[in-house]
Amino acid sequence: MPATTRRRPALASANSVHLGKPSGVLAPRVQSVGPEHFGIVAVDCAKASSKWMLTDFYGKVLIAPTVVRHGRDAFDRAIAQIRQAKASHQLEDLVVVVERTGRYHRPVKRAFAAAGFDVRVIHPMISRHFRRAAFPNQKTDDTDLQGIIQAACHGYGLVDPHWEPVYSQLQLLVRHRRGLVYKSTKLCCQILEHLESCLPGYARCFDNVFNSGIALVIPRAYGTPRAVVTAGLAGLVELARRENVRVHKSTLIRILAWAEDAPSADREALLHQRLLGELNQDRIATEESIQVIEREIVGLLVQTPYVRLLALAGINVVLAAELAAELGPIEHYPTARVITGRAGLFPGRYQSGPVDYRRGRLVRQGNRRLRQALLMGADTLCRCNDYFRVMAQKWQNQGKDPRDIHVRVAGRLARIAFQMVAGSVAFRHPACQGPPAVLSKLNEFHNEHDINITTTRTNLQHAAAQLPAAEQAREREIWQAKQAEIRARRGRGPKRLAAILPAVLSRLVGGELVGVIQSNSSGETP
């Protein structure tokens, strides 16, 4: 079914607009107690210590800037001092505004929140603007505190939304995996550089030296083309047998043909050979770590509604986890436009009097990691999803900039993801091609990562519980049909585990039994 179109909601009325951010507005609380009875604690955080001060809403300093060391006793003394000042100055309401500083502000935030204070977080870019307005060429901790207080009074001290532990853990694992992927890519580039120095042109004997079993075994044993020629075909066959690597004889003949015509190696070829081996060991360890993390990621993803994104052709487990980790709970987004706004996927605008035009480039401010995840998803959809491939080709024929095409697809991905994750009914869109694929993709992912059958069944049950009721029924029908097909093809003799695993799984959507495989006393399946 084609996606239904809806009119965009009208702009908010003037009565609902606030100066500053709605989640940081303090005006109602200030009006209820009076500005002179409303206190603001500003905290400028650093690594080992922070500086804080207390003022009322008018800016009258009640406690001068004071340094607090990051420790339990120091925090307790600062909290006691604030409570004493609150009683002596008759402050009826109070907020604590902490400037975001990487991760160094979190101990301060946790300490004041545990003491029962309303803790707000302010972005350093906002406090910098207010500081520069009052102190253009001066930057100190005291001026930073004044900028924080001014920004908080104007509604820029925001409340951090609560994240469930599953999303926090997923974000840490996904970002760590992304760092390991970057590291693995860098190691591959370094390995190719050393390989070209000791065996010039050897990498062109393979489509990908990292996907071939014998490709990096030979450089570890022979550091120059002359050494490969000296070993001959018999030596290469013996090396493959000793390393327990399967290789076609034609591949070894191709390698020997290259070695006989290869240019001379670098003068430090043996040193390049040693460094290549060390880097390759590091690469293998890194890829094993990536596999381990991906097994943990899928266990967390199935506990979130973002697992529904697997119904989109081109979206795999890792990409769905990337979106879930950077977006967080979908309840924090009233509309899909909030997602693209947080990611900064909209052009800048300049308007002054009769002049009004779009700058063309995306805005500088925004969550860069979320923008990266959406653009990465857009690139995948343009390559692997027929609907978006056709749309991208149509825009390309119209002369659209490739960057504009990717941003358009990312925006549509954000809207589709919002409807799929936040909705409680089955979502129909031309991009969701073919039969349901959520549980099938998950099962394939578990097979590729050699996850045991107990964990696989548990993850499939959790994923099925996240699907709408209509999708559960459709997934169950597809799964039963696949099981029947597998059983019809099953014969005697040994079979690959990946081929029979779907039939071995005994539980599926909603915890219902879909056919338990029974065995005779002889052990032979009927």
Angle subtended by helix axes 402-422 and 368-384, to nearest 10: 100
Same domain, residue pair 326 and 281: no
- What single-letter DSSP state applies at residue 158? B
Distance separating alpha carbons of residues 513 and 498, to the nearest angstrom: 21
Which range marks the domain in which residue 266 is found? 176-290
Chain centroid to CA 404: 23
pLDDT of residue 513: 37
Same domain, residue pair 185 and 209: yes
Rounded mean pLDDT of 213-235?
92
Confidence bin at 11 (pLDDT 50/70/90): very low
> What confidence tens digit (pLDDT) does each residue in 38-53 have?
999 999 999 999 999 9
pLDDT of residue 504: 58
Same domain, residue pair 242 and 283: yes
> How many Cβ atoms are within 10 Å of 130's Cβ, its own excluded?
22
The rounded mean pLDDT for the chain is: 86
Residue whose tokens read 């080992």: 48
Same domain, residue pair 200 and 140: no
Same domain, residue pair 129 and 32: yes
Same domain, residue pair 379 and 449: no
Confidence bin at 355 (pLDDT 50/70/90): confident
pLDDT of residue 434: 66
Rounded mean pLDDT of 362-383?
91
The total of structural domains in the chain comes to 4
Q: Collect all residues with Cβ–Cβ distance below 8 Å to 275 and sequence separation of at least 6.
A: 194
Q: Buried b / exposed e across 281-309, counting CB within 10 Å, b at 16+?
A: eebeebbeebeebbbebbbbbbbbbbbbb
Q: C-alpha angle 228/232/235, rounded to 5°?
A: 90
Residue whose tokens read 């032979």: 524
Same domain, residue pair 224 and 322: no
pLDDT of residue 33: 94
Residue 68 lies in a domain: yes
Same domain, residue pair 140 and 182: no
Which spans in 36-117 are helix H? Answer: 72-88, 106-114
Region of 493 on the Ramachandran plot (φ > 0 left; ψ -120 to 50 alpha; else beta):
left
Instruction: List the helix and strand counts (H, then E) for the chain.
Output: 19, 7
Q: Collect all residues with Cβ–Cβ distance below 8 Å to 19 and sequence separation of at least 6.
A: 154, 155
Distance separating alpha carbons of residues 372 and 497, to the nearest angstrom: 37
Residue 433 lies in a domain: no
Residue 147 lies in a domain: yes
Pairwise pLDDT comparison (90 vs 434), residue with the higher score: 90
Residue 451 lies in a domain: yes
pLDDT of residue 435: 63
> What confidence tens digit (pLDDT) does each residue in 101-114 have?
888 999 999 999 99
Confidence bin at 122 (pLDDT 50/70/90): very high
Distance separating alpha carbons of residues 342 and 516, to the nearest angstrom: 48
Confidence bin at 495 (pLDDT 50/70/90): low
> What confidence tens digit (pLDDT) does each residue in 233-286 have?
999 999 999 999 999 999 999 999 999 999 988 999 999 999 999 999 999 999
Same domain, residue pair 25 and 128: yes
pLDDT of residue 176: 97
443, 460 Cβ separation under 8 angstroms:
yes
Pairwise pLDDT comparison (13 vs 125), residue with the higher score: 125
> What confidence tens digit (pLDDT) does each residue in 306-332 have?
999 998 988 999 999 999 999 999 999
Residue 338 lies in a domain: yes
pLDDT of residue 449: 92
Same domain, residue pair 339 and 266: no
Last residue of a domain, one of 394, 422, 450: 422
In sequence order, what are the beta bridge partners of 513?
Answer: 507
Residue 352 burial (CB < 10 Å; 0-12/13-18/19+)? Answer: exposed
Distance separating alpha carbons of residues 377 and 374, to the nearest angstrom: 5
Q: Buried b / exposed e across 470-497, counting CB within 10 Å, b at 16+?
A: ebbebbbebbeebbeebeeeeeeeeeee
Rounded mean pLDDT of 134-143?
90
Same domain, residue pair 337 and 415: yes
pLDDT of residue 509: 41
Chain centroid to CA 405: 22
pLDDT of residue 16: 55
* Residue 3: pLDDT over 70: no
Residue 103 burial (CB < 10 Å; 0-12/13-18/19+)? Answer: exposed
Q: Which of 8-12, 138-142, 375-379, 456-460 has the lowest mean pLDDT?
A: 8-12
* Residue 5: pLDDT over 50: no
Distance separating alpha carbons of residues 289 and 180, to the nearest angstrom: 8
Can you give the CATH number for the domain in which 205 is found? 1.10.287
> What confidence tens digit (pLDDT) does each residue in 161-187 have?
889 999 999 999 999 999 999 999 999
Q: Is the pTM for the entire model greater than 0.75?
A: yes
Can you give the CATH number for the domain in which 42 is found? 3.30.420.40
Last residue of a domain, one of 290, 319, 336: 290
Residue 39 lies in a domain: yes
Residue 519 lies in a domain: no
* Residue 8: pLDDT over 80: no
User: Which residue in 140, 152, 123 sits closest to 54, CA to CA?
Assistant: 152
- What single-letter DSSP state applies at residue 511? G
Residue 40 lies in a domain: yes
Same domain, residue pair 217 and 272: yes
